[in-house]
A and B are shown apart, each in its own frame.
Chain A
């Protein structure tokens, strides 16, 4: 326990500070603080999920810049899947499946065909933008609303409860997904193998790990998380589909992945930071108490990303084999 605290001193202090500040504001203005945090977490959810896709990919050695396209396809599939079947749950399944298919496409292109990974990602983005605008039909509505679920006990905690534990299904699942991905990457055999494949594939191969298979499986499964992010946007956050619904969130997620140092918990913190500063930017406009032009407030997360990366130079580095196709020798 003491070891854990001394090893993680900085994150624990930060977390404690943020919590204290949040509760101070909560006691000053309960409604505003809660609604700002709800906005912030809602903004962060798709970014966190999409960042997980990027992390799993790069930790295994495959750069995925097609997250935007994967999300867009899934959002499209989940929305029109719900409309056609008349059932939002079937729509969720269809959306996640679409993510899996898009993940599998990247896996086949980047790992099996050894195509340039950046180009494969760009192809996914273009295919998704083209297909979803071409087949988009305006004027459709969801057959039912995404139910809001409250987790007993946890949802009664002031502030934290309504923000994190009283939500639609995807937003609720996101916290657990992050914890699961974090555990899987750092504490399981699969995680160790994946990381070795991402750092030094030839050594992993020599140790008897099937490099290509693990890359194929990981990139495909990560697609399902992009599917969750897309379905969240269409079914839960917007309740509709529009062309270009993802609005660049897939690319923002890559910045968050780097900001979070290719670490799921780091990405969660980074996404929360992005979400919170967006929420605060909008609240400052609404209150007109402090007269800072909103453009400056909205710059904050991006400036912070640069600062963090500049400070952390040398300590933060991408997985060594990210972006390199692996060909077995001999």
Chain B
């Protein structure tokens, strides 16, 4: 009997740890001061912001983290209460959102394309709560859902334009996560940009096999990057959460990294989020996730938020240490191109 008790103890410990790490228990979730708890979110003076991640963590160095930081900053700025839940299983989307709606949160941020449907369903059931869907394009307008979308094709286009000018072998590649709209836009934009600056370039585009782990498989990403390098690619775009990060880290280890071989990150400035990739990382194709989320949460606070889609910004990040490696005329051309994309005078021509 004693043995069974020990065993039960171990199992409970494990479950508690798993729960803590997924952030769904109250002790682990990060809380900002201001409104001290979420027991009376229904009261008008208490502004409560909840965030539900996609499969992934708020320190994933990629889109979950950016949205989390944006929502947290906005809540702090307006003196609201903030809490997040990390999703560990796609089947839990609705349950995780219900944890917030049950307590009458004012704003719920849901992160990721895959949560789009669950978010709209929850919004229709809770008309008094504002929902912000990061990366969720709204086909039909629901009054209390705002989709924060980005012109990913523009970010990819800028990165591709740079890659087309920098490649020596005229072969560039991309290692991608799941084949879904935001990733496809990045990839197609990357290809279009490269073809524009260098018509002779050939672009290899490879997506992770469809599976739950498509954004969290650095081993596959590393192997794919290695294969593309062996086949002559000298600039590789890693776009796909942990999978893409695996590719970047592998390229950073390759012979010639930083001199003849480069990598390009995605979503956020990965110079800071994946320091292991610094030896090869010339730039990142970034979406203004943090700013966009902050803007929308603040709009929700002052009541100016509207249903439908809200287009954030996208572009490429700083060159950091590679500012001296990327020739000045290339930098100027790329800057002109990115500016043209932003003001609409240049079109990427990407369609899905």
A residues in contact (CB < 8 Å) with B:
31-32, 34-36, 38-39, 42-43, 46, 109, 113, 115, 123, 126-127, 129-131, 133-134, 138-139, 141, 145, 233, 237-240, 242-245, 247-249, 278-279, 281-283, 285-286, 294-295, 298
Contact = CB atoms under 8 A, between A and B. Distances in A.
Given A38-B227, A134-B20, A233-B219, A239 B14 contact: no
B18 A130 contact: yes
A239 B227 contact: no
21 contacts: A31-B232, A32-B231, A35-B226, A35-B227, A35-B231, A127-B17, A130-B15, A130-B17, A138-B61, A141-B275, A145-B253, A240-B276, A242-B246, A244-B216, A245-B219, A247-B219, A248-B212, A282-B224, A283-B227, A285-B207, A286-B231
Interface string B15-52: 11111111000000000000000000000000000000
Q: What is the size category of the interface that chain B forms with chain A?
A: 35 or more
A242 B247 CA distance: 13
Interface stretch (B4-12, B287-295, B310-318): B4-12
Contact of B209 (A31, A145, A240, A294): A294
Given A282-B224, A285-B206, A286-B231, 16 more contacts: A31-B230, A34-B230, A38-B227, A113-B3, A123-B10, A123-B14, A126-B15, A129-B18, A130-B16, A133-B21, A237-B222, A238-B218, A240-B245, A240-B246, A279-B227, A294-B179
A315 B260 CA distance: 55
A233 B222 CA distance: 10
Interface in B177-206: 179, 204-206
A92 B18 CA distance: 26
B207 A126 contact: no
A272 to B, nearest CB: 15
B153 interface: no
Nearest to A75: B219
B205 A133 contact: no
B210 interface: yes
B59 interface: yes
Contacts of B205: 285-286
A72 B19 CA distance: 18
Nearest to A279: B227
B21 A130 contact: yes
Contact of B253 (A131, A139, A239, A286): A239
Interface of B: 3-4, 7, 10-11, 13-22, 57, 59, 61, 173, 179, 204-207, 209-213, 216-224, 226-228, 230-232, 242, 245-246, 249-250, 253, 275-276
A38 B275 contact: no
Nearest to B17: A130
A280 to B, nearest CB: 11
A295 B15 CA distance: 35
Given A239-B253, A248-B213, A131 B228 contact: no
B224 A298 contact: no
A248 B211 contact: yes
B213 A39 contact: no
Which 7 A-B residue pairings sit nearest by Cβ, starting from the closest? A130-B17, A130-B18, A35-B230, A133-B21, A298-B209, A127-B14, A247-B213
Given A239-B249, A242-B216, A38 B15 contact: no
B21 A43 contact: no
Nearest to B14: A127
Contact of B223 (A39, A113, A139, A281): A39
Contacts of B212: 248
A281 B207 CA distance: 10
Nearest to B210: A295
A282 B206 contact: yes
A285 B231 CA distance: 14
Nearest to B21: A133
B222 A239 contact: yes
A134 B226 contact: no
Contacts of A286: 173, 204-206, 228, 231
Nearest to B176: A285
Contacts of B22: 133
Given A39-B224, A138-B61, A141-B276, A245 B218 contact: yes
B233 to A, nearest CB: 9
Contact of A42 (B173, B211, B223): B223
A218 to B, nearest CB: 21
Contact of B226 (A38, A109, A249): A38
A109 B7 contact: yes
B18 A126 contact: yes
A279 B173 CA distance: 16
B14 A130 contact: yes
Nearest to B224: A282
B219 A238 contact: yes
Given A130-B21, A247-B219, A298-B210, A239 B250 contact: yes
Nearest to A142: B276
A247 B55 CA distance: 13
B251 to A, nearest CB: 11
A31 B231 contact: yes
B217 A247 contact: yes
Report which residue of A139, A242, A245 has the largest number of chain B beta carbons within 10 angstroms of its beta carbon. Answer: A242
B258 to A, nearest CB: 15
Contacts of B15: 126, 130
A11 to B, nearest CB: 27
A283 B223 CA distance: 12
Contact of B10 (A36, A127, A145, A294): A127
B210 to A, nearest CB: 5
Contacts of B59: 138
A109 B10 CA distance: 11
B222 A39 contact: no
A231 to B, nearest CB: 13
Contacts of A131: 14, 17
